[in-house]
Amino acid sequence: MQNSPDLNKFLSELNIKDSINIEEDLGDGYVRLKISEAERRQALQDINCVEDIIVELLRNSRDAGSKNIFIGTKKIEDKRRKIYLIDDGNGIPPNLQSLIFQSRVTSKLENGKKDSYGFHGRGMALFSIKLNVDEIRIVFSDRFKGASIYVDIDLSKITEKKDQSVIPQIIKMDGDLNIIGGVNNIIKTIIEFQLQNRDINFYYGSPTQILSTMRNIIKKDGSSSSYPKFDKWEKLVKFVNKNNIKVTEIPILTDNYNLMEKISRNIFNMDISQRGIQRIIYNEINELNPLKITTNVNFSEESDEYDENKTAEKEKKLKLHDELKLAGRFKDGEIKSIIETVEEKVRELGNKYFITTVSNTECKKVNNTIKLFIKLKQKE
């Protein structure tokens, strides 16, 4: 009831709403805020962009002792960014999962960490994120089982770098690795974090790639045969609850399409198409490689310059597989057949208007859209 619209309206009419957030009126427009209000304002300022959110999530996973961190991402019509962070760290007990989004709640009573991003351990990271996004929640976690976290961001409120595909270059300067070029996008943020935490594997891709990669990692190490396979959700849940299994291992527990779809939704909150689920089961999705720091050029500070001819490299782009890029599934011959059919119909209907088509109809395949550009001309 405390935050209900009726209560807020009532307090506003009495002109005492602001006093709830004030500890002391100092006069001349100065006040001393209550701790809760000061924390709220500070937390709002902690997050300025999507990349800041990524940093805070990665720091939490690192401090939880994670050795493998999966960052899935999906952009919706340039309006929303969905983030799925999955790790194999210590996990969060169920009774604490609703509390960790409150201010000053931390697991780092005596071991707060100071890194290049500042001090971490004041219990404000997840609280800051929650205040700035439309939704953040623990989809699945338990003690020693890792965590699956979902974040939904309104990009009109929290912005991100427009070009999320550019991969920065890494150069070696007198024995030290440094990042140059690119934009401060999500991929650069992860690479910078990896540079400081080289004992952790970071995987970055679309939800489909992430789910497929978690399965393939276990298959590659040869241990997949030791995992039971389930066809029923209830039996799978019972097994997970009773055994010390990481959330990153759950996708290997079935080869059943329906159950895999349920895992994607209930464990990771991923909305993957049926075709995407099938491609995961059939191993049709290329496995992601962990992001590793590699150098493109050696640079000496003695000369303060480097030879562009030797180091020039085509700008690298990150290609994220998206199971919803439906237009790309049509083969060239099928597209040609579509064009011929449409052109014939346009000419047929155009006869009564003395209109016909110009040859060489242009076709563009963009995500889920096939765009045909048919040039028209007056019939002679």
Q: How confident is the model at residue 215 (pLDDT cuts 50, 70, 90)?
A: very high
**Distance separating alpha carbons of residues 323 and 80, to the nearest angstrom:** 17
pLDDT value at position 108? 53
Positive or negative, the CA dihedral 224, 228, 229, 233 is: negative
Do the strands 118-120 and 135-141 form a parallel or antiparallel pair, or are they unpaired? unpaired
pLDDT > 60? residue 264: yes
**Mean pLDDT taken over the chain:** 80
How does residue 305 score in pLDDT terms, banded at 50, 70 and 90? very low
- For 271, residues 6+ apart whose C-beta sits below 8 A from its C-beta are 207, 264, 265
For residue 239, give both structure tokens.
Answer: 């097994």
**What is the per-residue DSSP string for 204-257?**
EE-HHHHHHHHHHHHHHTT-GGGS---S-HHHHHHHHHHS---GGGGGGG---H
Which pLDDT band, with edges at 50, 70 and 90, does 120 fall under? low
- Among 32-46, 91-105, 147-161, 304-318, where is mean pLDDT lowest? 304-318
Burial grade of 280 (CB within 10 A; 0-12, 13-18, 19 or more): buried
At 298, the pLDDT band (50, 70, 90 cuts) reads very low
The pairing of beta strand 80-87 with beta strand 147-154: antiparallel
**pLDDT-based confidence at 42, cuts 50/70/90?**
low
What percent of the residues of the chain are helix, what percent strand, and what percent coil, each to the nearest 5? 40, 25, 40
Report residue 41 as tokens. Answer: 């304002």
Region of poorest pLDDT, from 35-44, 195-204, 267-276: 35-44
96 Cβ contact list (under 8 Å, min separation 6) = none
Q: What angle do CA 264, 268, 271 make, to 5 degrees?
A: 50
Burial (CB count <10 Å: 0-12, 13-18, 19+), residue 169: middle
Spatial neighbors of 159 by CB under 8 A, at least 6 apart, are 49, 50
Looking at residues 113-117, what average pLDDT do you find? Answer: 62
Q: Which pLDDT band, with edges at 50, 70 and 90, does 300 fall under?
A: very low
Span 358-365, mean pLDDT? 85
| Integer Rg of the chain from CA | 26
Q: Which residues pair with 203 in a beta bridge?
A: 70
**pLDDT for the residue 267:** 98
310 or 175: which leads in pLDDT: 175
Higher pLDDT, 142 or 17: 142
Q: Hey, which residues does 74 pair with through a beta bridge?
A: 82
- pLDDT exceeds cutoff 90 at 240: yes
Average pLDDT over residues 24-40: 62
C-alpha torsion 266→268→271→276, nearest 10: -110
Identify the pLDDT of residue 175: 65
* Range with the largest mean pLDDT of 150-159, 281-290, 320-329: 150-159
Percent of the chain at pLDDT > 70 equals 70
Query: Which pLDDT score, from 0 to 100, does residue 207 have?
Result: 94
The more confidently predicted of residues 359 and 173 is: 359
Query: Which is more confident, 112 or 200?
Result: 200
* pLDDT class of 102 with cuts at 50, 70, 90: confident
Residue 152 predicted with pLDDT over 50: yes
Q: How far apart are CA 242 and CA 230, in angstroms?
A: 15
Q: Give pLDDT, residue 313.
A: 38
pLDDT of residue 164: 76
**For residue range 51-64, what is the model confidence (pLDDT) as tens digits?**
999 999 999 999 89
pTM for the complete prediction? Answer: 0.70
Q: What angle do CA 223, 227, 230 make, to 5 degrees?
A: 150
* pLDDT of res. 333: 87
What are the CA-CA distances from residue 48 to residues 38, 61, 130, 133, 194 (Å)? 17, 20, 13, 11, 21
The β-bridge relationship of strands 147-154 and 118-120 is unpaired
Q: Are 104 and 83 in contact (CB under 8 A)?
A: no
Lowest mean pLDDT of 68-77, 82-91, 281-290, 297-306, name the range.
Answer: 297-306
Count CB neighbours of 187 within 10 A: 26
> What gap in Å lies between CA 325 and CA 245, rounded to an integer?
33
